[in-house]
């Protein structure tokens, strides 16, 4: 056709969308899995389970292996952020090579009801570490940078979260207050909406929801969006309803969950890392005012600690 280097892959990154995903493929699979259809999940699963093996297969081979069709394989590759299967396969080969050299056994079984307490500690710690690594790998630094910029310049910031995410929202609010910003966390949906109405261009609204479809936080974000505020979504489902009102989307990773390890646990870890990144970014950006504010709040609290404990 018109292209000379048709599939050339060209470094060109037009819209600046999903990253080609280097090593964070397993994480991406887990993040996107819920939004996949059954057949696509089968493909994604096979890919995540054995990158090296899949890299050796053609589209047809992988389709047969998973009992699906070539079309489905290509669709899955697209969903994972690649232009087509060819590129997914290249990435897979890279991943396989890394694993080969990395040699990480990490035999992490699920937590069982009869696990001794020491095993529980080890497994929980390991899982949370994994969640952190996945989140860091999957976080879009462009989006993050944009959110930081907006926060640093905001007249005021409203943060919405309910349930477990509500605590994360409060954590972020506490942090931002400490560096002299005007931030408030809302977990009451009604108050959140009534406050959102006050926002205007230049202000920032942040919605935190793992599922991406929590009506109670989507509604205030929508209001803020309509009022012209800069809106940010911190969610594990970037394709969820919340995203349609978000100027910037920060994706948290979705870790394996089980009965003894509810989603709320890993999503919280992931969300907090994102929150820390936002906070640190803003602190850097506004260092001149943030540093003295931090010191001041630190000193003010010193009095609350009784006898000095050396």
Site residues (CB under 7 A) for DNA, limited to 25-64: 37-40, 58-60
**CB 156 within 8 Å of CB 150:** no
Q: Which listed option, its own copies, DNA, none, makes contact with residue 132 (CB within 5 to 8 Å by class)?
A: its own copies
* Nearer CB in complex with its own copies: 34/156: 34
Cα 157–Cα 247–Cα 87 angle in degrees, nearest 5: 140
* Nearer CB in complex with its own copies: 129/198: 129
- The CB-of-141 to its own copies minimum distance in angstroms stands at 5
- The CB-of-76 to DNA minimum distance in angstroms stands at 9
Q: Which listed option, DNA, its own copies, none, makes contact with residue 309 (CB within 5 to 8 Å by class)?
A: its own copies
**Distance, C-alpha 19 to centroid of its chain:** 13
**Distance, C-alpha 187 to centroid of its chain:** 21
**Distance, C-alpha 220 to centroid of its chain:** 21
Q: Which listed option, its own copies, DNA, none, makes contact with residue 294 (CB within 5 to 8 Å by class)?
A: its own copies
- The CB-of-71 to DNA minimum distance in angstroms stands at 3
Distance CA 16, CA 251 (A): 15
For residue 310, state whether it binds its own copies (rule: CB under 8 A).
yes
For residue 103, state whether it binds DNA (rule: CB under 7 A).
no
Give buried/exposed letters for 223-244 (b at 16+ CB in 10 A, else e): bbbebebbbbbbbbbbbbbbbe
Q: Which of 80, 148, 150, 199 binds its own copies (CB under 8 A)?
A: 148
Residue with tokens 């992931």: 270
- CA neighbor of 201 nearest in space, from 178, 218, 226: 226
* Nearer CB in complex with DNA: 163/241: 241
Site residues (CB under 8 A) for its own copies, limited to 276-295: 276-277, 280-281, 283-284, 287, 291, 294
For residue 7, state whether it binds DNA (rule: CB under 7 A).
yes
Helix, coil or strand: residue 266: helix
- The CB-of-76 to its own copies minimum distance in angstroms stands at 15
- The CB-of-189 to DNA minimum distance in angstroms stands at 24
Residue with tokens 């949906």: 189
CB-based contacts of 295: which residues, under 8 Å, 6+ apart? none
- Binding stretches for DNA (CB under 7 A): 1, 5-9, 11, 37-40, 58-60, 67-72, 74-75, 77, 83-87, 89, 308, 310
């Amino acid at each position: 056709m018109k292209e000379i280097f048709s599939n050339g892959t060209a470094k060109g990154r037009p819209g600046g969308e999903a990253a080609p995903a280097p090593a964070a493929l397993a994480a991406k699979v887990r993040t996107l899995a819920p939004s996949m259809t059954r057949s696509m999940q089968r493909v994604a699963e096979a890919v995540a389970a054995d990158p090296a093996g899949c890299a050796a297969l053609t589209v047809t081979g992988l389709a047969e292996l998973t009992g699906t069709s070539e079309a489905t394989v290509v669709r899955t590759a697209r969903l994972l952020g690649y232009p087509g299967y060819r590129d997914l396969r290249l990435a897979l080969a890279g991943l396989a090579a890394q694993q080969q050299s990395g040699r990480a056994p990490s035999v992490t079984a699920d937590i069982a009801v009869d696990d001794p307490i020491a095993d529980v500690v080890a497994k929980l710690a390991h899982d949370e570490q994994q969640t952190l690594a996945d989140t860091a790998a999957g976080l879009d630094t462009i989006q993050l940078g944009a959110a930081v910029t907006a926060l640093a310049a905001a007249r005021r910031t409203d943060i919405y979260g309910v349930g477990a995410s509500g605590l994360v929202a409060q954590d972020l609010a506490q942090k931002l207050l400490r560096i002299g910003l005007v931030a408030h966390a809302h977990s009451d949906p009604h108050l959140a909406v009534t406050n959102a109405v006050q926002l205007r261009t230049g202000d920032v609204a942040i919605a935190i929801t793992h599922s991406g479809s929590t009506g109670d936080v989507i509604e205030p974000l929508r209001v803020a969006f309509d009022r012209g505020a800069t809106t940010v979504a911190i969610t594990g489902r970037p394709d969820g309803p919340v995203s349609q009102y978000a100027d910037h989307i920060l994706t948290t990773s979705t870790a394996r969950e089980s009965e003894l390890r509810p989603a709320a646990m890993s999503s919280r870890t992931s969300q907090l890392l994102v929150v820390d990144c936002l906070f640190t970014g803003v602190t850097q950006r506004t260092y001149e005012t943030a540093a003295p504010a931090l010191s001041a709040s630190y000193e003010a609290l010193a009095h609350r600690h009784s006898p000095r404990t050396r």
